[in-house]
Structure formats: C-alpha cells, structure tokens
Amino acid sequence: MSSPDEMPAAPERSFASDNAAGAHPAVIEALVAANEGHALAYGDDRWTAEAQARFRDLFGPASEAFLVWNGTGANVMALATMLHPAECVVCTEWAHIAVDEAGAPERVVGAKLLGLPAPEAKLVPEQLASLAHLQGEQHHAQPAVVSITQSTELGTLYSADEVAALCETAHRMGMLVHLDGARIANATAALGGTVQAVRSFTVDAGVDVVSFGGTKAGLLGGEAVVYLDPALAARAKYTRKMVTQLPSKMRFIAAQFNALLHDDLWISLARQSNAMASRLYDATREIPGVAFDVPPVVNSLFVVLPNAAIQPLRDWSFFWDWDVSRHQVRWMTAWDTTDLDVQRFAAGLRHVLGGNFEGPLDGASSGG
Amino acid sequence: MSSPDEMPAAPERSFASDNAAGAHPAVIEALVAANEGHALAYGDDRWTAEAQARFRDLFGPASEAFLVWNGTGANVMALATMLHPAECVVCTEWAHIAVDEAGAPERVVGAKLLGLPAPEAKLVPEQLASLAHLQGEQHHAQPAVVSITQSTELGTLYSADEVAALCETAHRMGMLVHLDGARIANATAALGGTVQAVRSFTVDAGVDVVSFGGTKAGLLGGEAVVYLDPALAARAKYTRKMVTQLPSKMRFIAAQFNALLHDDLWISLARQSNAMASRLYDATREIPGVAFDVPPVVNSLFVVLPNAAIQPLRDWSFFWDWDVSRHQVRWMTAWDTTDLDVQRFAAGLRHVLGGNFEGPLDGASSGG
Amino acid sequence: MSSPDEMPAAPERSFASDNAAGAHPAVIEALVAANEGHALAYGDDRWTAEAQARFRDLFGPASEAFLVWNGTGANVMALATMLHPAECVVCTEWAHIAVDEAGAPERVVGAKLLGLPAPEAKLVPEQLASLAHLQGEQHHAQPAVVSITQSTELGTLYSADEVAALCETAHRMGMLVHLDGARIANATAALGGTVQAVRSFTVDAGVDVVSFGGTKAGLLGGEAVVYLDPALAARAKYTRKMVTQLPSKMRFIAAQFNALLHDDLWISLARQSNAMASRLYDATREIPGVAFDVPPVVNSLFVVLPNAAIQPLRDWSFFWDWDVSRHQVRWMTAWDTTDLDVQRFAAGLRHVLGGNFEGPLDGASSGG
Amino acid sequence: MSSPDEMPAAPERSFASDNAAGAHPAVIEALVAANEGHALAYGDDRWTAEAQARFRDLFGPASEAFLVWNGTGANVMALATMLHPAECVVCTEWAHIAVDEAGAPERVVGAKLLGLPAPEAKLVPEQLASLAHLQGEQHHAQPAVVSITQSTELGTLYSADEVAALCETAHRMGMLVHLDGARIANATAALGGTVQAVRSFTVDAGVDVVSFGGTKAGLLGGEAVVYLDPALAARAKYTRKMVTQLPSKMRFIAAQFNALLHDDLWISLARQSNAMASRLYDATREIPGVAFDVPPVVNSLFVVLPNAAIQPLRDWSFFWDWDVSRHQVRWMTAWDTTDLDVQRFAAGLRHVLGGNFEGPLDGASSGG
C-alpha cells in the first residue's frame, strides 16, 4: 500500500453519516427569516400553523402533526401515545428504538420491546402472526404496537404492499402500527419520489403514526410526529411535554420544516443522497478487495474491506465500522454529497487498496 | 375608557414572555457560520468542544457541561443522574419541575416531588431540616435532592448566602442540590452582573448540578446541564440519550452558546431585560388602578389591574394571566425589549385606564 | 407519676395499629383447609372462582375483582389501569398513595399526584372544579383520576352523598374515581353495617374502581382490586402481573377472602373494632391531661397527651406518634381488640397521668 | 388408543407445575403458630428477626435478607437496587424476567433487558465479553447487571465454577451479578444438597444479590431478596416499599421461612422433587412414542409426545405445552410428588400410547 502522506485529496464531505451534514441553505434562510420580533412560544405562532398545514397537505386533512426536537424523542412520544401499561412493542432486532436509544422507550414509555430476528431489518406478517400465543397470556406484556423503520437501519426498503400487509395483520390482531421515518425522505425518493409515494406506504397502507425525520433530510434539527389516525392524537400535546419534547421557540423548528416541505425539497435532497450512494457503489464495486453484499437502495452502503485497509482509509476520510468481525464498514451519503466527493473517495480507496488505476483519477494517485 | 380603535401604537415586542423573543443576531450569525460542511454528530465536533471549554471557564475546570434541547429536558436529565429509586426531590410548590413539566420528572425520573409551601418561591434551610423525620422511614421516598430555581418562578432571587445555607443543610442531611437556572442569566445580572456573581451562588455556594438556561437568554433553543460535582456526571452521557435530549447535529446548539457566552453577552442581555422591567415598573406604578406587590428584581412583574381593563389591554398587546382570582397578570421583559416598547406599553395602559396623560405620550392618547 | 414497675397489667393487644393484629381464626381455618393437594396457580382454581363470585355478590354482577398481595399494590394496580401518560391523580395531602407508599405511584404508574389541602383528609367537589384551568393546558399533567380514601387516613368518613357528589363532579370533568378502601370494612360498619351500606358509597355513588382491604380487616394478608366499571378491567390481568401483584398460589389469598366475606364477617369484625375505639374514647376522654379533637367514628383516635407521659406509656404498651409538635399520638383498635384491652389501657393511662382512680380498675393501680 | 373412560386412576398430584403444590405441613403449622396476638407490622417482629438470622446463617454474617411477596417482586426489587438510569440487564432469551413478568422490569425498574441466545438457558463468559463494545457507547444502555437463573427456566444447572467464571468476567467488566433463585432449592439439592452447595454457587462464586425462592419450595407464598454484597442493600428497604413488595403482617412470611429453613427442610423437599423427576424419566423414557432430549437434572422434564396423545393425556392429568411446533410438553414435579403419583402417571401414559405393558405398573392399568 501507499503511504498515507501520498493520499489523493480527501472528499470535502465524509461518508460518515447523513447527520454529519449541515442544513440546506434554504432551511437556514427560513430560520433566519423567522427571527423577526416576538412570537408566542410552544407552537402558538404562524410558522407552526403553516407547518401543520403543510403536513396535512402531505398526509391528508385528518392527520395531525406535532413538531419535536429529535428522532428518539419522536419515537418515544409516538409510542407513549399508542401504548397502555403491560403492553409491548414488536420491532426488529435492528430497530433504532431497540438498539440506539439508550433504553429510552423502556424508561420513558415503560414498555418492553420485542426485537424479532430480521436479516434485512424488515418484519413480515408471519412474524406478527406467530405472536398470537402471547395474546391473552397474563404473564406476558401484550403485543400492542408494531414499529417498523422506513428506510430501515440496514438501508433496505419496505414496498407499499409490504407495509400494507403488515398493517393488515397488525390491525386484525388488534395492534397499531408505528413507522419510524428518520429516513422517510430517502424511502420516498427511492419509491417514486412523489407525494403519492410517501402516502402509498404510510396513510394509504394503514400506518397509524409516523415519526417524520427532518434532521437527516437537511434540517439543523427537527422532527415531527404525524398522527394519521387522529384519535391517537388526543393526548399528544401533553405527552409531548411529558417526554421533554415540546420546543419553546417552536417557530424555529417550524420554519425549517416549511422550507424543507416547500416544493418537495425534502424529496429532491433525498434523491440526490440516494443517487450519490448508487454512484459510490458503481465507482467502487469493482475495485479489488471491495465486497458489497447488495447494491444500495437508499443512502447507505455496507462494504467488506481488507482489514489492513480500513484504518488508513478512515484516517484519511472518516466512516464508521459496522460489523468488525467481518471487516464490514458503513458508508453513508447525505443531501449535500457531490459527485466530486464520490470520485475523490473512490480514488482514495483505489489508492489504499493498491489497485491498478485508470481514467481521470489516475493523476491524483499517480504519485502513489 | 377609550375605545380600542383609538389606542396608541402597540409596542413592537409584547410583554408576554421572554421565550416569545427570538435569538440575538450574534447567535444567529454563529449558527449560520457553523453550517459549513460536515461535522461528526452527537457532540464530536469543534463547536461543542469550544462550548464545553467556555463552561469550564465559567464554572471551574472540574465542571462538566452537557448540551441539551430544552429546560424540561435539562431538569429531567439532571435529576435522573442525581437520584436513586425510592428517593424524592424537595422543591417549592411553585417549582417549574412540579407545575409546568406535565409530570416529566415523575415519569422519566420515576421520582416523587415534594412541593413545599413557599410564598416567595424560595426554600429555607428550616424546611429541609423539617424533613429529617422522613429519613430512614421505609414508607416514604427518601429526600435526596433539593431543587431550587434561580431566579425563581415568582421573579424573586436567592442571595449567594441563602443558596450556601441551603446547600450546607442539604449536604449535612445527605442530600444533593440542583439549581434550575432557566433564568440564571437574569439572576446573574441582578446579583452583580459578573462571572464572579454566577459563581457565588452556584459553585462557590455548593450547588452540585445546574440547569443552565440559554433559550430565554437569547438563543433559538438550547440549554446545558452543568455538573459542578463531576462525580455526578459519570453516567450523564447515557442518561442524556435516555431522556431523549441528545442533539444529533450538536454543533448548532454549541455554536449558539459560543456566541452567547462570548464576552459575557448572556449577562449583558439579561441586564437589559432586567433594566427594562424596572423601567416598566417606574413607568406604570403610579398609574391609578395599577397595583404591584413588590418592584421587580429580575425581568417579571406581577401586577393587579382593574378587571375590566385586562382584556382590552391584552387584545392590544398580549400578556398572560397570573392569578385570576385577584385580577393579577404577569408582564415579562426579554433581552430585546426596548425603551420604546416600555413607553408604548405604559401609554396604552394609561389610555385604557383613562389616566391623566402627560409628556411625550400625550399626543398618542389625546384623541381618546 | 408512678414508676413504670408499678404499672398495672398491660393490654394483651396494643393500640399500635390494626395491622398489628393477626388473622381471624375462621380465616386461618379456611387457609389451612385450602392446603389440600394441587391446584393450578395464578387464579385458575376453585377458591379464586368463589372469591370472584363473592365480590360480584357484593358489588354487582358486572363488577370484576382481582386478588393481590397488599394495599400499595392494589392502589398502584388500580391507578395503572385508570391512567394514560401525562395524566395525574388528584388526592388529599394525607393520602396513603401520596405519603406512605415510597413513591410507588410515581414510579410504577409514572403519574404525578396532586395532593390537595384537606384538614379532614376529605376532598370536596369544589376542589375538583378548581382544577378546571389545568384541563387542556399542555404544560400540566391532566387531572384524570380522583383518588379518595374511605375511611380516611385521619379516621374520618365520607357519607355516601359526599362520595356521589365527588363522582358526579369528577365524571362531568372527564375524570374517573378510585376509592382506596384499605379500611373499607370500618367505613361500612360505621355507615350502617350492611352490604347496602358499602354499595351506597361505592357502586351506587359512581365510584369506578375500589381497592378493597382485607389485611387490616382480619386476613393474614390479601387485598382486592374491584372494577365497578368493568370496561376498566380490560387490561387488569396483565397490569396486575406487571406491577408484581399476581399471587402464584392464589388459592391461599382467595380462601382467606372467602372466610372473611362469608356471613359478612368482615363487617362484624370492623364493627367490633369501631366499637372498641368508641369505648376507649369514653374510657379515657375525661382523664385529666387527655385531649381529643373529636370522638372517633371508625377505629383510630388522635389524642394529645402531656409530653412527659408519652414515653412511659408507650414503653408499657406501644403506640405511634402522630404530630410530635403538639404531643399528639394515635391509638388504633383492631378486629380483635377486647373490652379488657380497653380497660387495661385506660387504667395504665390513668396511672401514668397520676389521676384519681375509681371503679374496678382501682385495684390494678392502687399499688402505684 | 383406549377410550378415556378406561383410563387408570390419575395421580393425586398433577405434573403441571411446582407452584400447583400447596404448602408443607410444617410451614402451615408455623404460620398458624405465628397467629398469636399482636406484632408490629412491616418486619418489626420476632419472626422476621429470626428469618433474617437464618438467612445470615445460610449466606454469611454480612448478608442481608429482605422478605417479599413473590418472585417477580423479588427480581424487580433486586434489579432496582442494582441499576442506575440508562443501564441494562444482560440475561438469556429464556429468562423469567424477560419472558414471564409482563414487562415488570422494564416498567418498574425502567431498564432495558438484553436477552441473549442460549440454547440451554445458560450464559457463558464469552457472551458477556462480547458486549464490551457497548460500554462507553452513549447511544446504548450500559450493561450493568448480569442476571442468571439457577436452576434455569429449561431445567438446567450452572455448576459453581460456571457461576464463578461469569461473576469474574462480569465484575472485571464493572457489572454486578443477580441470581434468580426461584428454584434455588432444586439447584442446591442437585449440586450436593448441603448448605455448602448453595454457598458454592452464590456467595463463594461472587454473586451479588440472590432472589431466594420460597413459594415453589413449599411455602404458601413468600420469597426473599438476599444481598450478599451488603453495600447494595443501602436503599433496599425503601425500594421494597416502592416496588409494592413490603408485606404488612410480615410475621406470616417470616414464620413460613423459619419452618422451611429449619433443619434444611427446603433442601430435603427439593431433593424429593428432583428424585421424583428422575423417577418419572425412568418410568416413561422407554415407552414407545415418548422422546426426551435429555434426562432431568432438577424437577422439570421436557418431552415430545405423539400429537394425538397430548390432549387425552392432559384431560386426564393436566400439564402445560412447551413447544407446540414439535409437540413438546413440560412435566414438573413438586416437593409433594409421590412415587405413586409417578407410577400412576406412567401408567396413564402407557395406556394412552397403547403400549405393551409389563412389570409392576401392569396392575395399575389392568383394571382400565
């Protein structure tokens, strides 16, 4: 391998995570514009009213949206309004709520999570059906909410039909369905890139409550809990406060969303993010030593690399490990990833892996 | 009284609340500047490192600061790291944690709150001592944390000596002390307006953990939990995540704080807010029909008005009721309240109360 | 005063508490009889079926009873099935749930308790009405359950009409009513001593859920949560397990209740307990130095004594302090308190207070 | 198969569960004897003092025992005193705390459970070591307690060395060890049947806290939480109350334990229970159609039967399903199972399976 000091120029934006990106300029602009004079706190302002209207445009006039700080907060608030004592949440073993929220659902909601095996981080109706023996069993927390993630923690997607089948089974069994949409923008872009697309796998499929992600989609910070079944929103505003997720100067969350939801900017940005993931895949998959299990369908790539290459590459442009036992790492694109970022990263990868370089990137690596 | 349509010009900024104000321009500027390229999420960025250093400058090198979204979150996180099961929090009956957080401490921390009577929203050491009979009593949650608010929910202040006396008694009884500093800036401005002032009633007085308010002090949104006793911070980072208060793109909270803490801007802004409250008091206290119990010491005024005057006045420039049984309302200044806002509000008040107008405001009301 | 070694014979049974008494012989006999061979656990046995039928006889065919271990458990289970997140319980400042359960409701139910001032430990409808301003207020946990205690922690009673008035107001405001009946037997005995009496202040008055006390009424241990509104019982069995209150060998709780509920034994025993309290009052109220605020209506007496007399008297026959600031102590009778116990206690009291002894007790104290 | 009406006599005691058994006569006798006059409640009585002394005799003078109602309560209390916020419990996927407690640990303790795969319901040190990557990870609840069950939910046993190895790894990683001993008597009987045996896999092995089972061992009801590390008991008494597990008339739990712990009755009874399981295995394993995976080591047998035989057999003498997908059922012996029960059950099994009967059991079934 080449020595690190001979590495080509690193990409300006790393492939560490979509939450390493900043905010889109239109979002910043809207936020700055909202900083005019006084506005009542806690959502009694015109920016919040506009955001609520925009969410109704998206999910239908009966839906109700509540703005919150972050994804864990959105999930916890959603679940708290959906569950009773001694009930549990069915999810995959990969679910963010089960793995990456430091026990917030257990603590704040007081609920058990049943994390089912799911090689692709997707549940299937048969798994729900297999829980029927727990229903009525007084020793076991009752399965009451199915929580799915779209796009999933493994970068996979549910089709609208798959979500509908899950909802159908869940509802038949007396369960509700929550969709953790921290990356709902990427899913929407991948499944058609239209408002109809997002409706197809949410409200039309029978989902009851959505955690709608804004932060990874291009905001500074901000998420929404959207009740597609408005009956579940009856205690939402009190619950939001109780789970510490009521923003004081809410106009600054709302203004960001208003920019993001305007002209489907959120879909456009996710389309770019997804496209860059595909491009990174194409630019790297034939480099000797690089092994993907599957091509990306949204904005994350899981790749096995020669062990010795990982640290030098990471020192040059940061990314996270995924499964260290098989030297698998994760690369993730963001709304602001550029073609040049992809080209530079691929060049560095070729350089570190000692490949035989050809094409326009040769110059960058020829000194190696 | 005059008819509403003859009212003088309303103030640009109402006296509804300090959280109705926006963010200071320097804060906005810093936030915009922080939106440059990628930065690792969850606090592993240079803006957060700077904010942590600034808090160490303020509270001493042993202290540790954790940035969070909002005040309820800060309080809940602080208490969660200070309490064990079957312990309780001693506070006043006015405490924000007891009255205005929708049961978040009970739910998320799992703790009982003992809200003691306190006409001025301030605890005294004798009240702590009177709880000694609960200690060791297996039927009662054990008093383990004293939580005081500075400045208080009633706009009063603890002197540094008063805080020290509470800490001394609390520690002697084996209890810890939490200070809810949602308006710590106003308290600091009122108690000397220097870094030494804030130290005098926190770290020097023996306080263990501070909720440091940024939102009301001029941020878009952002608070900090500052551990003056760093031993209590051992599990803080996990607890922050568990209570849903870990900001993803943390640089945007940190950058705001960096601007606010620079050159003691937070104190300067609070000094202005406090000064405007005094000015409003001076400008209105002699108007017939206006009755204050006490002059303001920070930025809130509690005032009894003729009942018939309240709604017309509120329709013209919004403010909140306080104690409807005695027609008492609350006026609150903010960091951006101007002298002209005060003059206009006083003029409107005179107009509504049908007073005898003099000076530059006469013109505005002479048509009445 | 006389020296302790010259004290008259102490009562066999102290006046410390009704939970210092053992179990009634019929209860023991039933329990021993239930220890025959095997029976399925967790309530699937004939003794439990009988107990459930006996409770239906008492509270009506629609009611549903669930057997549990103890009073705190009964209260916590009841409240957990009645509350949603961000809701709170309205009770008095004296309520057992607020004062004597070590924070169990806050922790296990996750609910705030609003302990209202109540000199006689009784709520009135006006107090509920005064909470209307909290309804719809997103910063405050929503009042959702009114919990009253009958007989109260201060030994007072609600009349059936008073309970009905509270229920009427609570229901009109959208709240449910829980009755903590740890001493429901004493209340029943005092309010008529019939099954119709207990119905009058529970199911007929509109109470939704009752914690029915067995332990203080003559059991070894055992309580029941009785759902008068069976819709609230939908998740009761899972919730019972979740709050750790599902007895494994339930037949042994059920058999005790079957004996206690047979031929209204529970009412007879409470009548005896109440009667002994009245007798103790009569036997002591004119002794110089003894000061009662009010005569007992159930089985507890609160009495102010000369401070110097308290410890010698307690050393001779134990009882608990109540309000040390005014030298007030509590005496409590039990189902097994006898007339001789009362006579002996009164004699000892006279002895310690140095009174002028007359009547049959003279002999016992004449050596003093 | 034979028709049901020709079935041989059913066993007097079923093989449904050890909690279907009643209490041992010595236990009943002790309980009845304890019903003498008054005794202070909540543990301030001589029976409780004796029980505490007996547990110190068993586990060493530094240990501290707290009596509670039931197994779920014991586990929840133990965990509540061992965990801080944002920490989690490591256990097997079969653990009673994870599967059979209706979410009580999640709700009452507020803790996440990590249920690791374990074909024999036993953890190994390597599994703990594999969690090291979670330590220090702010997004994940921190592994803080390892909870093992002895004997396990699958009827297997940890050797003392295996427990010691787990404790060594756990402590090295900064974790504590809880042992769920709902069937600690059966484990003790199987591992030597002496006091030294129970010490070998608890206090000597490094276990920190034990849930000591009494109910399945021959009590009416009663368990103990025994702190082998007394430092962890500092807040145990308040926590016991908070988790609703403080018995009021505690003498009646204590008296039962005093009888059970006297002359190692608990071990003798478990020895009988275990022996009957072995005898049942011997009496049935060669019956055609009966398939055991392994012989029993304590008191439970897991057996695959012809599907058509299960219901008729169960209708005759009840037992529970275990894994319906493979027609596996569970048979469990109790302290009172007799040799005749075993013979009768084996006879019925042979009868239902239509086997060719030989030997001493022929007589029992020949009348069928």
CA distances from A257 to A215, B17, B23, B246 (A): 10, 24, 18, 20
Q: Residue B202 falls within a domain, yes or no?
A: yes
**Residue A294 is part of a domain; what is its CATH number?**
3.90.1150.10
Range of the domain at C321: 4-22+266-353
Chain C CB contacts of A240 below 8 Å:
138
Can you tell me the distance from the alpha carbon of C295 to that of C285, in angstroms, rounded to the nearest whole number? 9
Give me the half-sphere count of Cα atoms (radius 13 Å) on the Cβ side of residue A3: 3
Nearest residue to A121 (alpha-carbon basis) of A279, A322, A310: A322
Name the burial class of residue C14, with classes exposed (0-12), middle (13-18) and buried (19+) by CB atoms within 10 angstroms of its CB.
buried
Chain A positions touching B36 (Cβ under 8 A) are 22
Q: Which residues of chain B have pLDDT under 50?
A: 1-2, 356-368
Q: Of B131, B52, B53, which is closest to residue B91 (Cα–Cα)? A: B131
* Partners of chain C (3+ Cβ pairs below 8 A): A, B, D
In this prediction, residue B5 carries a pLDDT of 59
pLDDT at A287 over 60: yes
* Residue for token pair 């922790």: C107
Residue D204 near residue D196 (C-beta atoms within 8 A): no
Cross-chain CB nearest to B110 (options C100, C106, C141)? C106
Residue C294 phi/psi, 5-degree rounding, is -145, 155
pLDDT value of position B4: 53
- Closest residue in D to B238 (Cα–Cα): D138
CB nearest A106 (choices: D101, D111, D138):
D111
How many beta-carbon pairs under 8 angstroms link A with B?
A: 162
pLDDT value for B6: 81
Mean pLDDT taken over chain A: 94
Cβ–Cβ under 8 Å, residues C257 and C51: yes
Among A228, A263, A298, give the residue marking a domain's end. Answer: A263
From B109, which residue of chain D is nearest by alpha-carbon distance? D85
Mutate to test the interface with A, among B38, B81, B235, B314 (most CBs of A within 10 A): B38
* pLDDT tens digit sequence for D73-106: 999 999 999 999 999 999 999 999 999 999 999 9
**pLDDT of D244:** 98
Predicted local confidence at residue A354, as pLDDT: 84
Q: Taking residues A274-284, what's their average pLDDT?
A: 98
Answer yes or no: do A142 and A227 share one domain: yes
Tokens of C280: 């103790």
Handedness of CA D286, D290, D293, D297 (dihedral sign): negative
The answer to whether C138 contacts A240, with C-beta atoms less than 8 Å apart, is yes
Q: What is the Rg, in whole angstroms, of the alpha carbon atoms belonging to chain C? A: 22
- pLDDT tens figures, D238-286: 999 999 999 999 999 999 999 999 999 999 999 999 999 999 999 999 9
C-to-D residue pairs, Cβ atoms closer than 8 angstroms:
162
Q: Which residues contact B209 (CB under 8 A, 6 or more apart)?
A: B78, B81, B82, B176, B177, B178, B179, B225, B226, B227, B228, B229, B232
B238 closest CB neighbour out of D138, D238, D240: D138
- Final residue belonging to a domain, choices D221, D248, D263: D263
Q: What is the pTM of this model?
A: 0.95
Q: Check pLDDT > 90 for residue C366.
A: no
Is B32 a member of any domain?
yes
Flag if A238 and C86 touch (Cβ within 8 Å).
yes
Whether residue A229 is found in the same domain as residue A185: yes
Neighbours of chain D (3+ CB pairs under 8 A): A, B, C
Task: For residue D138, give how far its alpha carbon lies from the nearest alpha carbon of chain B (Å).
Answer: 5
Shortest CA distance to A60 belongs to which of A206, A181, A184, A179?
A206
User: What CATH number is attached to the domain comprising B117?
Assistant: 3.40.640.10
C-alpha C203/C-alpha C195 separation (Å) is: 11
User: Do D219 and D278 share a domain, yes or no?
Assistant: no
Q: pLDDT by residue (tens digit) across C165-198?
A: 999 999 999 999 999 999 999 999 999 999 999 9
How many residues appear in chain C? 368
The arrangement of strands across the sheet holding C291-292 comes to C291-292, C300-304, C328-332, C320-323
The answer on A171 and A293 residing in a single domain is: no
D133 and D46 share a domain? Answer: yes
HEC per residue, chain C: CCCHHHCCCCCCCCCCCHHHCCCCHHHHHHHHHHCCCCCCCCCCCHHHHHHHHHHHHHHCCCCEEEEECCHHHHHHHHHHHHCCCCEEEEEECCCHHHHCCCCHHHHHHCCEEEEECCCCCCCCHHHHHCCHHHCCCCCCCEEEEEEEECCCCCCCCCCHHHHHHHHHHHHHCCCEEEEEECCHHHHHHHCCCCHHHHHHCCCCCCCCEEEEECCCCCCCCCEEEEECCHHHHCCHHHHHHHCCCCCCCCHHHHHHHHHHHHHHHHHHHHHHHHHHHHHHHHHHCCCCCCEECCCCCCCEEEEECCHHHHHHHHHHCCCEEEEHHHCEEEEECCCCCCHHHHHHHHHHHHHHHCCCCCHHHHHHHCCC
Among A12, A219, A220, the residue to mutate for chain B (most B Cβ within 10 A) = A220
What residues in C contact B110, CB-CB < 8 Å? 103, 106-107, 110
**Mean pLDDT for chain C?**
94
User: Cβ of C235 and A42 within 8 Å?
Assistant: no
Q: In this structure, is residue A358 part of a structural domain?
A: no
Pick the residue from chain A with its C-alpha nearest to B107. Answer: A108
Q: Domain check: are A240 and A305 in the same one?
A: no
Strands C209-213 and C223-227: antiparallel
User: Is D279 part of any domain?
Assistant: yes
Same domain, D76 and D158: yes
Q: Give the pLDDT confidence of B171-219 residue by residue, as tens digits.
A: 999 999 999 999 999 999 999 999 999 999 999 999 999 999 999 999 9
Residues of B in contact with C133 (CB under 8 A): 324
A215 CB burial (10 A radius; 0-12, 13-18, 19+): buried
With beta carbons under 8 A apart, name residues in chain D contacting A140: 99-100, 102
Please indicate, yes or no, if residue A368 is contained in any of the structural domains: no
Does C111 sit within 8 Å of B139, measured CB to CB? no
pLDDT at D359: 36
B266 vs B193: CA distance, rounded Å: 10
What is the tally of structural domains in chain D? 2
Q: Do D110 and A103 touch (CB under 8 A)?
A: yes
Q: Report residue D354's pLDDT band, with 50, 70 and 90 as the boundaries.
A: confident
Query: With contact defined as beta carbons under 8 Å apart, do D108 and D75 qualify?
Result: no
pLDDT of residue A368: 29
Q: Do D86 and B238 touch (CB under 8 A)?
A: yes
Closest chain A residue to B15 measured between Cα atoms? A38
CA-based nearest residue to B330, from B309, B352, B301, B290 = B301
User: Do B342 and B271 have their domain in common?
Assistant: yes
What residues of B are in contact with residue A96 (Cβ under 8 Å)? Answer: none
Same domain? C135 vs C232: yes
Tens digits of residue pLDDT in C40-73: 999 999 999 999 999 999 999 999 999 999 999 9
Q: Mean pLDDT throughout D293-309?
A: 97
Band of residue D362 on the pLDDT scale cut at 50, 70, 90: very low
Please tell me the predicted confidence (pLDDT) of residue C6: 81
**Chain A residue whose CA is closest to D101:** A139
Q: Which of A219, A241, A263 is the last residue of a domain?
A: A263
Q: Are strands A112-116 and A87-92 parallel, antiparallel or unpaired?
A: parallel
- Which residues on chain A are in Cβ contact (under 8 Å) with C87? 235, 238
State yes or no: pLDDT of A2 exceeds 70. no
Please report the pLDDT score of residue A356 as a whole number: 39
Residue numbers in C near A112 (CB within 8 A): none
> Which whole number is the average pLDDT over A98-108?
96
Chain mean pLDDT for chain D? 94
**Of the candidates C205, C72, C209, C96, the residue with the CA atom closest to the CA atom of residue C145:** C209
The tens digit of pLDDT for each residue in A311-336 reads 999 999 999 999 999 999 999 999 99
Report pLDDT for A10: 96
Are A159 and A182 found together in one domain?
yes
Cβ B186 vs Cβ B274: under 8 Å: yes
Span A292-307, mean pLDDT?
Answer: 97
Residue D360 belongs to a domain: no
* Predicted confidence (pLDDT) per residue in D16-35, tens digit: 999 999 999 999 999 999 99
**Residue B358 neighbours by CB under 8 Å, 6+ apart:** none
For an interface test with C, the pick among D15, D38, D99, D335 (most C C-beta atoms closer than 10 Å) comes out as D38
Same-domain pairing of D182 and D320: no
**Residues C179 and C321 reside in one and the same domain:** no
The average pLDDT across C106-113 equals 96
Q: What are the pLDDT digits (tens) for C194-241?
A: 999 999 999 999 999 999 999 999 999 999 999 999 999 999 999 999
Contacts of B86 in chain D (CB under 8 A): 80, 235, 238-239, 241-242
Residue D333 has pLDDT above 90, yes or no: yes
Shortest distance, CA B222 to any CA of chain D (angstroms): 20
| CB < 8 Å to A140, chain C | 238
Query: What pLDDT, on the 0 to 100 scale, is given for residue C4?
Result: 53
> Chains that contact B by 3+ CB pairs under 8 Å?
A, C, D
Instruction: Label residue A89 left, alpha or beta by phi (over 0 means left) and psi (-120 to 50 means alpha).
Output: beta
pLDDT at D368: 28
CB contact under 8 A, A36 and B28: no
Task: Give tens-digit pLDDT for C293-351.
Answer: 999 999 999 999 999 999 999 999 999 999 999 999 999 999 999 999 999 999 999 99
Q: What subunits touch chain A, counting only 3 or more CB pairs under 8 A?
A: B, C, D
Q: What is the spatial distance between Cα C327 and Cα C305, in angstroms, rounded to a whole number?
A: 6
Inter-chain CB proximity C106 and B102 less than 8 Å: no
For A244, which of B31, B220, B245 is closest by C-beta distance?
Answer: B245
Smallest CA–CA distance, residue B236 to chain A, in Å, is 12
Determine contact, residues D342/D11, Cβ cutoff 8 Å.
Answer: yes
Pairwise CB contact (< 8 Å): B103 & C141: yes
Is residue A328 domain-resident? yes
Looking at the domain assignment, is residue A135 inside a domain? yes
pLDDT at residue number A186: 98
